[in-house]
A and B are shown apart, each in its own frame.
Chain A
Amino acid sequence: MTDNELIWRIAGGSGDGIDSTSQNFAKALMWSGLNVFTHRHYPSRIRGGHTYVEVRAKDEPVQSRGDGYNFLLALGDSFARNPQEEAYYGKEELKPLYENFDDLREGGVLLYDEGLLDDEDVDEIGLEEAAEENNWHVVPMDLRGIAKEHGREIMRNTAGIGATAAILDISTDEFEKLIKQNMSGDMQEANLNVLHDAYEAASELDVDHDIEVPEGSHDEEQVILSGSNAISYGAIDEGCRFISGYPMTPWTDVFTIMSQHLPSFGGISEQVEDEIAAAALALGASHAGVKAMSGSSGGGFALMSEPLGLAEMTETPIVLVEAMRAGPSTGMPTKPEQADLEHVLYTSQGDSARVVFAPANIRECYTQTRSAFRIAYEYQIPAIVIYDQKIQGELRNLPASHFDEEPNADPGSVLTEEEIQDAAHHSSGKFQRFLHEPEDGSNVSPRSVPGQKDGRFLATGNEHNPSGHISEDPENRIAQMNRRLNKLDDIRADLDENTSHQTYHGPEDADYGILVWGSQQGTVFEAVDRLNENGHSVKALGVSDMAPYPKEEVSKWLESVDEALVVEMNATAQFRGLTQKELGKYGDKMSSLLKYNGNPFEPAEIVDGFESSIDGEELAASNMKYVPAAGD
């Protein structure tokens, strides 16, 4: 736990405006000079249930959710159904108040809407005892009453913001600015009145607490956005103008953002009948010369297996996004997990040749999506960006300048008509699209695009000769297989030379290491800082290149530590398995800390996990699993 930070949690039912309110709260704090990071938790339903978002704010950059929270705004679930049938539904509207009591820090503030939640009911859940025990400051306020006085009940969330501002002694200026920016007319006026009234009412309560909201300032202009925004913007800036998809949580996010913006960039978005079609359309568009993408989440991505193999075999460039959620099967649709790594690496028949990047944060979502397009189109290979429901939904501020990059619409290794005239053709006139030994000595044989004069060739999922025609000749087979697979070595060399996607953290000469991939990186880095402060000697390596695997970098790093703990959000240690397979050793050096209960790690959990692993003690927490290194 660190001091000098605010972790404000807003909890209510789906449909109570929890998401948008938290976004506004985070943006306002960013405007005030703070760094913010949000953590989002919601059930797989449209209305009701327990939804919460935490906004963590500090003066220094924040890269992870925190440990618990110190301020709870419990709106209650206004969509709780059938209150008469208590036996079945229980006190559902109270869930957002009591369900995560345990995580409210000692001395924290608990503000709830007594306009919705009956005080007698609240008594029954043992709030008073818990508050006494933990020194919580419980503040019941009739937020619903304030909202209804000026407008509609849904404005309870604006009232909650006003009350929060008063209790935490934050200026309402930025909130007012936001309301004015986002709303107009009566709606704007009503919300402003609700904000002020709630502020006044809460000020009069004079709540005494120890939370200090930090103060900060930014040296340059900031933007606040999600991983899905960053992936979409990376794709657009790299010249992607075609997307095809089918809705599935959490992939829908990227699909929606792209669909909303592509037409204004002159592009095309297609919502189609299923994910097989989605991937197939992206292939068709790419074959015809357009930079294209598709994507899905676990189950939908499974349907893309065959088109993915076709892309590999026909060397048609394509970028796919896989937004992981907890599996297997339908799993837990709105909960994050990192359990599709093996799925994405190995799905589809035959020896695969694909590229897989796992960005760890919003910044990397942008840069690595751009890398994925560049590599895919230059090397004529499918590239997959795998991320999860955690990065998809979390917001974080970063300098706007990070996106101040030149666009690149280069379609890669495609010939112009003039170049086709000079290129190799079969005596029949067919263009040699799949040369065994491309003229520049590389493994990439440049392609033509339908409509180009004298560029015709056959693309086929069958093994094929240089003109693309079906061939089962053994020598041709070996030449084509080797060329397709050797592209991966070229890509590895290209990435090593141009764009390292791996991130190092902590003292270089540390004795111990924590190895992490994808979305858990920021949390691990924060844990590493705390561990070093606690006197441990630890560093971390965040890996993004899942394929082709950065063997040299990871070997070198693993050689430099005595032991390494691999942290990932799945039950079978998939990344540790991949690392062992790729490097052929270190099984006796790597242990695993795993979590697969639907919630991402908190920094303190990694600190505990690490400490008990080096002490050889059993994990105290039951929500994680520790798997020792081989031979231990």
Chain B
Amino acid sequence: MAKLTINVDNCKGCGLCVDVCPKKVLELSPNKINKKGHKPVEAVREADCIGCAFCATMCPDCIIKVER
């Protein structure tokens, strides 16, 4: 199983990782607000993650670490 480590406080909530994930693992948090005032991304279905690192490749802020 793959493991995602997300640096939540540096997330700007652009959602590019959410759109690019083939397994729909990620979602923008509906109620949390991070330090920057954005709704950060969350791995809501981490068990489905296949570790393709598409999200991390697309992330402009380089906040996702992917391990497999």
A binds B: no
Task: Please list the residues of chain A having a beta carbon within 8 angstroms of any beta carbon in chain B.
Answer: none
